[in-house]
């Protein structure tokens, strides 16, 4: 392929190079993916420790404990024997204790504890060996307790703890991820088969998206040297990578096919796709990357890991879409439509349904705007009640015996499931002064009116410089009772007890403290993240479309979409609707990392549609079409591909809602709902109605900003697909390159 004339744009230049060097581009992509896999195997991925994931005082305390050289604690387990029908617990308690002591993997069986109400007995014990692998050895204890429960149905006998919780999460998550991996690609492929009606065209986006995810995960191994990963990062990368990778290819292939069917020769069709959809891909990708970069401003290990992972997978998907995809399309030519599916393959989509709906919207733009805003406002209303909370064992399958047992233990013995830990670092944490401080803490527990709970346990490191003083908190570790108890402990009890200890630093950690510190960190960083993402998105849209109005409209519409998604999230997970269908336990808040992450992801992904639609509308505007006609043509011609892309995204996101963790359910439901709203109410109603109301003001650029660089929206002369009849030779041709073919 060679060109005469000036070729504008990164995407067009990349397409020309790839089409000229097809074999090199394809083999280069394969080598790139293979190299990242080898890199990952050689370098390894560094995972963040629990201490590295902390924030505030609790994070500092965790780092002190990690460096203090405490002996590795075995995984702790608990058996609850509860009287629910008047039966005697004593004999069963003895049987439980005796049975546990006979098991090879059980150690340190503690004397039974009685609850304050006299209805429950707790037997604590540990699993020998490394706590990280204790889930592999807890099975015999679980089986023994289940056998005792079966023999005594008049009592409630259950086991819960670190090892059994890890086993449950591991088993449930492994099963869920296996199901996800088995379903995600076939479901995506099925949707694309319906969208394209041809097997080869459907396989291309799936193949490129999967290889992009593999390459990005490989690159993450090197990135983890600078930003250690957390467990959920790979899942998030798969989620985002499949969505954007498939969408980008879908946009590109659909435009190339449309132009080819409109009469353009293969080279010209490929160039049109590169100059239009290809340009939209890299602008959209850049916007998504900018949005993801906002997570770095949280200074939180989890968000930094998410940010780096999603940036890598989006960048890789953009790279593949702009390089190897044009090469593959150049090789295939019209064979991209090979293996047509009868009944699904269509030369062109007439779009009657969407065009008919669009005519109604454009006929009454003001009414359409008011209705759309009203619907989005109603959906967003519950966001006023949004609260956040930390994750715990209850966020796994709520009907699992281990989860129900943990919940029962938490209610009967709150100090055992959610204790606070006062980490004291001093030149010496042994001796009379330290013992007096601990005694003062115990006395304060007694005076707390039940907010702080006995027992108070002390553990000292071998060097005698760090002590961990454990004390129970009222509540379940997340509710107001726990929050009040934590404030009392941090604000009054700990300073009074350890404030006069020479050279001492006393910090409170534990699940309640970690959640509180994380929430505080998010509150501090939220304005910076929102400002960064909104500001840079505005600038990118302003430069891309040279219009202040378009930039403002894009930001506002995306905010409406995010707000509505938040409202639906609160309606489902905080208010408890559809809990049986989705399999989660309603709670008093959304998991604390979800809102900010959803904002960043949604704001980035929604730009896929926004940039794609606006680029097509801008093409019509550049040809001199009136605003109403440009909007009708741009949205009408993109409705089919956006619908297909939205269905793909929704399907992938909805599959994540089938995973056992509440966090993945919230992520899947929130993203799927937002994409549905974005592709229907936002893009099909609100965007066209608002643009028609604004008219020429859509393209307003103040005189003082006309120095901004112009990123051309080329209009290539072809047939119907690009909107310029090929039979109009008088139309200027200087805006696009003339192509000739060297075969």
Each residue's pLDDT tens digit, 426-453: 998 888 889 899 999 999 988 888 888 8
Residue predicted with more confidence, 647 or 344? 647
Q: Please compute the mean of the pLDDT values over residues 356-369 and round it to a whole number.
A: 88
Contact in structure between 423 and 61 (CB atoms under 8 Å): yes
Distance CA 485, CA 636 (A): 59
Q: Please compute the mean of the pLDDT values over residues 57-80 and round it to a whole number.
A: 89
In the DSSP assignment, the letter for residue 123 is E
Residue 123 has pLDDT above 90, yes or no: yes
Predicted pLDDT at 710: 62
Predicted pLDDT at 219: 93
In the DSSP assignment, the letter for residue 52 is T
Report the predicted TM-score, pTM, of the whole model to 2 decimal places.
0.80
Residue 728 has pLDDT above 70, yes or no: no
Predicted pLDDT at 351: 56
Distance CA 694, CA 425 (A): 64
Contact in structure between 14 and 274 (CB atoms under 8 Å): yes
Closest CA to 411 of 160, 89, 75: 160
Phi/psi of residue 716, nearest 5 degrees: -90, 135
Predicted pLDDT at 375: 94
Distance CA 249, CA 234 (A): 22
Predicted pLDDT at 315: 94
pLDDT in tens, 282-317: 888 888 888 889 899 988 888 899 999 999 999 999
Q: Which domains does the chain have, with CATH numbers?
A: 1-43+197-347 (1.20.1640.10), 73-129+138-168 (3.30.70.100), 349-401+525-705 (1.20.1640.10), 419-509 (3.30.70.600)
Predicted pLDDT at 6: 52
Distances (CA, A) of 588 to 268, 307, 570, 573: 57, 27, 10, 9
pLDDT in tens, 504-552: 899 999 888 888 888 888 888 888 998 998 888 888 888 888 889 989 9
Residue-by-residue DSSP string for 392-442 = -GGGS-TTSHHHHHHHHHHHH-HHHHS-EEEEEE-S---SHHHHHHHHHHH
Bridge pairing between strands 155-161 and 420-425: unpaired
pLDDT in tens, 514-526: 888 888 888 888 8
Secondary structure element (H or E) that encloses residue 722, with its range? none
Predicted pLDDT at 142: 93
What length is written for the chain?
Answer: 743
Closest CA to 383 of 529, 567, 201: 567
pLDDT in tens, 670-706: 988 888 888 888 888 999 999 999 988 988 888 877 7
Q: Please compute the mean of the pLDDT values over residues 323-327 and round it to a whole number.
A: 92
Closest CA to 382 of 577, 671, 650: 577
Secondary structure element (H or E) that encloses residue 455, with its range? strand 452-460
Distance CA 157, CA 82 (A): 7
All residues at 6 or more sequence positions from 223 whose CB lies less than 8 Å from its CB, including other chains: 308, 309, 312
pLDDT in tens, 331-355: 988 888 888 888 776 655 555 667 7
Of 120-129, 252-261, 407-416, 596-605, which gets the smallest average pLDDT? Answer: 407-416
pLDDT band, residue 45 (cuts 50/70/90): confident
Bridge pairing between strands 388-389 and 590-591: parallel
Residue 121 has pLDDT above 70, yes or no: yes
pLDDT band, residue 615 (cuts 50/70/90): confident
pLDDT in tens, 263-283: 888 888 888 888 888 888 888
Predicted pLDDT at 165: 86
Q: Helices in 294-364 by DSSP H: which ranges? A: 301-322, 324-332, 352-363
pLDDT band, residue 8 (cuts 50/70/90): low
Distance CA 359, CA 684 (A): 11
Residue with tokens 């390159």: 737
Contact in structure between 240 and 220 (CB atoms under 8 Å): no
Predicted pLDDT at 739: 36
Closest CA to 616 of 251, 212, 135, 322: 251
All residues at 6 or more sequence positions from 721 whose CB lies less than 8 Å from its CB, including other chains: 255, 258, 259, 261, 262, 264, 272, 637
Q: Helices in 197-278 by DSSP H: which ranges? A: 199-223, 233-261, 266-273
Of 568-577, 586-595, 730-739, which gets the smallest average pLDDT? Answer: 730-739
Predicted pLDDT at 736: 37
Secondary structure element (H or E) that encloses residue 113, with its range? strand 113-114
Contact in structure between 121 and 80 (CB atoms under 8 Å): yes
Residue 735 has pLDDT above 50, yes or no: no
Residue with tokens 């097809």: 22
Distance CA 310, CA 233 (A): 8
Phi/psi of residue 606, nearest 5 degrees: -65, -20
Contact in structure between 155 and 89 (CB atoms under 8 Å): yes
Residue 558 has pLDDT above 70, yes or no: yes
Residue 724 has pLDDT above 60, yes or no: no
In the DSSP assignment, the letter for residue 479 is S
Contact in structure between 6 and 736 (CB atoms under 8 Å): no
Predicted pLDDT at 26: 94
Predicted pLDDT at 732: 35
HSE toward the beta carbon, residue 311, CA cutoff 13 A: 17
Distance CA 522, CA 457 (A): 32
Closest CA to 23 of 264, 469, 331: 331
Answer left, alpha or beta for residue 443, where phi above 0 means left and psi between -120 and 50 means alpha.
Answer: alpha
């Amino acid at each position: 392929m060679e060109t005469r004339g000036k070729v504008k744009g990164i995407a067009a230049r990349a397409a020309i190079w790839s089409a000229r060097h097809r074999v090199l581009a394809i083999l280069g992509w394969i080598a790139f993916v293979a190299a990242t896999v080898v890199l990952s195997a050689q370098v390894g991925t560094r995972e963040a420790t629990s201490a590295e994931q902390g924030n505030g005082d609790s994070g500092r305390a965790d780092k002190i404990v990690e460096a203090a050289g405490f002996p590795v604690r075995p995984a702790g387990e608990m058996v609850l024997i509860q009287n629910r029908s008047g039966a005697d617990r004593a004999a069963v308690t003895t049987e439980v204790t005796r049975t546990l002591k006979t098991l090879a993997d059980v150690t340190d069986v503690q004397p039974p504890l009685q609850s304050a109400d006299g209805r429950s007995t707790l037997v604590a014990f540990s699993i020998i060996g490394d706590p990280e692998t204790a889930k592999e050895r807890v099975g015999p204890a679980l089986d023994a307790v289940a056998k005792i429960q079966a023999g005594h149905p008049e009592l409630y006998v259950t086991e819960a703890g670190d090892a059994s919780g890890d086993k449950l999460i591991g088993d449930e998550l492994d099963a869920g991820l296996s199901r996800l991996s088995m379903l995600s690609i076939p479901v995506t492929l099925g949707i694309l088969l319906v969208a394209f009606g041809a097997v080869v065209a459907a396989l291309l986006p799936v193949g490129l998206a999967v290889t992009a995810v593999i390459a990005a995960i490989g690159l993450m191994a090197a990135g983890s040297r600078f930003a250690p990963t957390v467990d959920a990062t790979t899942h998030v990368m798969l989620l985002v990578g499949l969505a954007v990778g498939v969408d980008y290819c879908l946009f590109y292939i659909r435009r190339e096919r449309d132009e080819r069917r409109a009469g353009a020769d293969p080279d010209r069709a490929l160039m049109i796709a590169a100059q239009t959809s290809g340009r939209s891909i890299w602008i959209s990708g850049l916007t998504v990357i900018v949005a993801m970069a906002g997570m770095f401003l949280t200074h939180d290990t989890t968000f930094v890991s998410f940010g780096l992972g999603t940036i890598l997978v989006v960048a890789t998907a953009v790279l593949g879409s702009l390089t190897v995809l044009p090469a593959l399309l150049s090789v295939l030519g019209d064979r991209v439509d090979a293996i047509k599916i009868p009944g699904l393959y269509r030369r062109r989509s007439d779009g009657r349904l969407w065009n008919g709906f669009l005519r109604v919207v454009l006929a009454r733009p003001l009414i359409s705007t008011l209705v759309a805003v009203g619907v989005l406002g109603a959906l967003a209303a519950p966001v006023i009640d949004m609260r956040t909370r930390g994750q715990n064992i209850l966020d796994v399958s709520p009907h699992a015996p281990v989860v129900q047992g943990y919940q029962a233990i938490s209610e009967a013995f709150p100090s055992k499931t959610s204790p606070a830990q006062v980490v004291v670092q001093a030149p010496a944490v042994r001796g009379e002064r330290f013992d007096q401080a601990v005694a003062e803490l115990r006395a304060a527990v007694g005076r707390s009116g039940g907010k702080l709970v006995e027992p108070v346990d002390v553990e000292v490191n071998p060097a005698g410089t760090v002590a961990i003083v454990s004390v129970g908190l009222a509540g379940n570790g997340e509710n107001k009772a726990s929050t009040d108890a934590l404030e009392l402990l941090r604000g009054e009890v700990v300073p009074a007890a350890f404030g006069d200890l020479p050279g001492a630093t006393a910090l409170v950690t534990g699940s309640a403290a970690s959640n509180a510190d994380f929430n505080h960190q998010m509150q501090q960083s939220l304005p910076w993240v929102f400002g960064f993402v909104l500001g840079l998105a505005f600038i990118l849209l302003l430069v891309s479309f040279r219009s202040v109005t378009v930039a403002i409209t894009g930001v506002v519409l995306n905010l409406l979409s995010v707000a509505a998604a938040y409202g639906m999230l609160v309606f489902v997970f905080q208010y408890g609707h559809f809990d049986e269908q989705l399999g989660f336990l309603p709670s008093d808040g959304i998991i604390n990392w979800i809102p900010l992450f959803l904002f960043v992801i949604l704001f980035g992904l929604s730009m896929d549609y926004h940039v794609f639609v606006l680029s097509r509308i801008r093409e019509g505007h550049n040809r001199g079409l009136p605003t109403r006609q440009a909007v009708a043509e741009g949205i009408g011609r993109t409705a089919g591909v956006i619908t297909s892309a939205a269905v793909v995204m929704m399907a992938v996101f909805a599959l994540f809602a089938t995973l056992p963790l509440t966090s993945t359910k919230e992520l899947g439901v929130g993203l799927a709902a937002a994409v549905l709203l974005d592709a229907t109410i936002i893009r099909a109603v609100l965007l066209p109605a608002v643009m028609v109301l604004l008219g020429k003001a859509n393209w307003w650029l103040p005189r003082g900003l006309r120095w901004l660089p112009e990123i051309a929206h080329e209009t290539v002369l072809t047939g119907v697909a690009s909107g310029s009849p090929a039979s109009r030779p008088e139309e200027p041709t200087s805006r696009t390159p003339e192509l000739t073919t060297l075969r």
